[in-house]
Structure 1
Amino acid sequence: MTQPELEALAADAYVYGYPLVSSLTMVERFTQGGLGVLPAAPFNGFSHATRLAQPEDTFVSVNNDTVYSIAQLDFSEGPQVLHVPDTAGAYYVLQFVGAWTDNFAYVGRRATGTGERTWLIVPPGWHGTPSGGRENVIVSPTAVATIVGRFACTGPDDLPRVRALQDGLTLAPLEPGGLAAGLPEPDPEVPERLAFFERLRVWMAAFPPAGPDIEYQQRFAPLGLLDAGPSPYRAAAPEWTLALLKGLAAGRERVEDATRPPEDHPAGEWRSALHLFDYNVDFLGPGTLDDPEWRIPDRRAAYLSRAAAARAGLWGNHAYESVYAMTYDDADGRPLSGAHAYTLRFDEPPPAGAFWSVTMYSLPDYYLVANPLGRYSVGDRTPGLVYGEGGSLTLLLQHERPADPAAAANWLPTPEGGFRPIIRIYQPTPAALDGTYRVPPIRRI
């Protein structure tokens, strides 16, 4: 294989494998050190946040609407029994994510209601007989998985209610006495510049994807990704290493490009991620919609969508659970920057069956923006907003605090430099999913 062919193959491997490496790196981070307000927790145990996310919680596009409860599952300990409490109608969702970032099940207000319930979560290929019936079984596509729990929270005064619900959210092994093996460890002697490929090699073997994807993986044999013995990256030949590194850079740029708006998109238009998470077509369990509308039929196109989703919104929901839309520029097509002030006017509220919000993120990291007000998002649950005639709402987006009290009430602080806001619509109604509703553009003052 020629050097250019190796580089092109390495770029494809990066796009294909980035979600697995990104997701399991985050799994590792959660089990070993935690993340911001979420303390470290062992496999098969929940880590509960005790407040809403803040800028020090450096997770890509983290929301500021819900309090997180996150568990990393390892089925080497056997199936897990999940108990969910009665939330008395309040919004919550437990999103089940496989190692390759497939959203394979949902439990919560939209999917299964808000009543108390017990579920059995089992590994791929499990053939046991559940005592509660198959309708209460969730099958994971991989031997490790993640539960991302989100409880709606209106602010500090609502935290006691949420904490009581978190206490009622439990995991326990079906058969006690097992031991979670955890993630297989990549070779620590591999140089850092090739660590991505080493992680992909080890984790790809440990957590195989769907059958058609396994077939696609065979083409990566010349990159050493199918080697089962000692790592081929410890003392790799210089020419081969150079090809891998060039491919790595090209693949990374391809993923970054996929997260940016197309050059020909209408000025100021919000990019909706309605189908960004539709790459999972193989593992559709309880709470998912098994419908052609929510599938990306072209697998190779789905690999890039999956990578872009992992880069800009790791562990995000399908749009039928919550709609995400984002924009990088104003109504005249100019990049958004904290050097200017903007307005965002809603003549009518976004079509949410639960609630909606606009959250501010910095570039290029997509983290929450620190500000003296401690306000990271604004939405229909934000206290003290000033509404106009007919129920319209005009938000002010700028870096400095407005002098006018009415403007300050509707202020969403921006960073000094570039920024990208996201609007979230939880439990979207049909108007949010069929294109009827369009988020209004941001206008520079």
Structure 2
Amino acid sequence: MERAALAAEAYVYGYPLVRDLSVVEDFMHTGFGPLPPAPFNHFAHAGRAAPPGAPLMSVDDDTVRSLAHLDLSGGPVLLHVPGAEGEDDTDGAGGAGGADCVLQFVDAWTNNFAYVGRRATGTRAGEWLVAPPGWAGDVPDGVLGVIDAPTSVVSVIGRDASRAVDDSDDSEEPERGRALRAQLGVTYVEPGTHRTGLPAPDPDVPEPLRFFEQLRVWMADFPPSARDQAYQDRFQPLGLLEEGPSPYTRADPALVRALTEGLARGRAWVEEEAGRAAAGRGGWVMDPHLYDYNLDHYGVGTIDSPEWRIADREASYRTRAVAARCSLWGVHGYEAVYAHTFRDAGGERLNGAGSYVLRFDGRPPPVEASWSLAVYDATGQRLVGTPGTRRRPVGDRTPGLVHGEDGSLTVHLRRERPEDPVAAANWLPVPDGDFRLVLRLCAPGPEILDGTYEIPAVERIR
């Protein structure tokens, strides 16, 4: 294989690692959207759901997020997890009657390797031991369980959809959110030295080769599974497996050309495939299996089943790159599914010049936890709001929605608040120009996962 083609392959393979750790590094200094910056092994909490206009790492913006990046290089840590005592869990099993809270564990390669929450582990409060690769120490008494991390840096993403935000709500967050923030925390188990930052690429490497230098350094410090490491051996001619001083500070011109061309090819492929995945072919688009690329690490709360694995390993690398580009840190389909559409029932692009309705006839989407509908701008990356109102997503946790006698629900999508009081109660603002709708389905029912549930089309009424 020519080196430029090999470099393109290396870009697609390594993009998730570089993307993930670049976000981790930036977050520790600048934060992300409504989340303030925080060092390793400390949680950052959003006081409220993401404000309109905030950049988003993924589409589940109507949840109050908590985020911690754990460094396990100095040994394991204890993760303190609050329970759900006192919640309105009418069915006693974490159904729609109770709040939906989950902690998602993601390794440096963006593999979802564990979940803690209602579906996965129940709602018992306590401590989980998060252990680094190869750790064989004594487990402290009283812990709820051990979460074995595939890499020494992992991200813990907390999502709490206890209720959606309404335009009449002037509080910072629900009381339950404040309680969760107070209880969620990290403590050290053993004396040890933990990182304060990530391994640094050589600053003398020219900017066009910086991606490959980051990949070289971070592959060495955060090795993947044994089978993936065997696959990485093919990248030896590119200098990606060299240890010590960077081979890219004074690289041979032929190698520079191959890496530069390969980076352009690989980047173009990722962008094209990500755009195709986002656009779909019209109507509602969703992929419950976009995050099935983890083939080697099945920890607490994950489902180790062929149904949730991509059969072809090399295909999994390509899917992983697209997922990292489209929506970093998304969850497995059994945890949540996101459907989106740019078009109405007639195939026309959704635009604020029109007024629309979305009619859920008979019953709302079949979920075991919660659902919500949000509006994004034309880029799909910014949540839409309107001046003078904070009303953003609507869903089963939104107070004041008006249902029909048969249980149906009609959501009104338009720029201005409707004059009719029923329509106003079910109003979701849209922007002036093109926009996208995203339907979040948490703990989706089997009808969603097998495709038998059909999301209603968006109807233009004027």
The answer on whether the counterparts of 1:81 and 1:172 sit within 8 Å (CA) in structure 2 is yes
Query: Among 407, 410, 415, which residue is 2:423 paired with?
Result: 407
Partner Cα distance (1:241, 1:362) in 2: 39
The answer on whether the counterparts of 2:402 and 2:425 sit within 8 Å (CA) in structure 1 is yes
Number of the residue aligned with 1:249? 264
**Residues 41-85 of structure 1: per-residue CA shift (max 9 Å, x gap):** 111111111111123542233423321111101111210011212
Displacement, 1:424? 1.1
- After TM superposition, the score normalised by the length of structure 1 is 0.91
Displacement, 1:239? 4.9
Query: Among 216, 221, 229, which residue is 2:244 paired with?
Result: 229
Moved more, 155-164 or 105-114: 155-164
Q: Does 1:79 align with 2:76?
A: yes
Change (3 A) 1:205 1:334: farther
Partner Cα distance (1:109, 1:303) in 2: 30
Query: Among 275, 287, 290, which residue is 2:301 paired with?
Result: 287
- After TM superposition, the score normalised by the length of structure 2 is 0.88
Number of the residue aligned with 1:108? 117
The answer on whether the counterparts of 1:344 and 1:442 sit within 8 Å (CA) in structure 2 is yes
The answer on whether the counterparts of 1:343 and 1:395 sit within 8 Å (CA) in structure 2 is yes
Displacement, 1:434? 2.2
The answer on whether the counterparts of 2:278 and 2:326 sit within 8 Å (CA) in structure 1 is no
Q: Which runs of 5+ in 2 are unaligned?
A: 88-98
Percent sequence identity is 55
The answer on whether the counterparts of 1:281 and 1:296 sit within 8 Å (CA) in structure 2 is yes
The one-letter code of the counterpart of 1:329 is R
Query: Among 415, 420, 426, which residue is 2:436 paired with?
Result: 420
Note the 1:284-363 alignment, pairs <5 A.
284-347=298-361, 348-363=363-378
SS at match of 2:436: coil
Displacement, 1:331? 2.6
Change (3 A) 1:335 1:224: farther
Number of the residue aligned with 1:207? 222
Partner Cα distance (2:65, 2:151) in 1: 23
Number of the residue aligned with 2:204? 189
The answer on whether the counterparts of 2:376 and 2:382 sit within 8 Å (CA) in structure 1 is yes
Change (3 A) 1:55 1:192: farther
Number of the residue aligned with 1:67? 64
Partner Cα distance (1:64, 1:77) in 2: 33
The answer on whether the counterparts of 1:399 and 1:416 sit within 8 Å (CA) in structure 2 is yes
Change (3 A) 1:223 1:335: farther
Displacement, 1:135? 6.7
Partner Cα distance (2:412, 2:459) in 1: 10
Query: Among 18, 23, 28, which residue is 1:21 paired with?
Result: 18
SS at match of 1:361: strand
Change (3 A) 1:259 1:331: farther
The answer on whether the counterparts of 1:52 and 1:65 sit within 8 Å (CA) in structure 2 is yes
Number of the residue aligned with 2:140? 131
Displacement, 1:361? 2.1
Moved more, 99-108 or 242-251: 242-251
Query: Among 92, 98, 101, which residue is 2:107 paired with?
Result: 98
Query: Among 356, 359, 368, which residue is 2:383 paired with?
Result: 368
Change (3 A) 1:391 1:17: same
Partner Cα distance (2:460, 2:367) in 1: 27
Partner Cα distance (2:253, 2:180) in 1: 55
Number of the residue aligned with 2:91? none
Moved more, 194-203 or 69-78: 194-203
Displacement, 1:190? 2.5
Q: Which runs of 5+ in 1 are unaligned?
A: none
The answer on whether the counterparts of 1:60 and 1:365 sit within 8 Å (CA) in structure 2 is no
SS at match of 2:208: helix
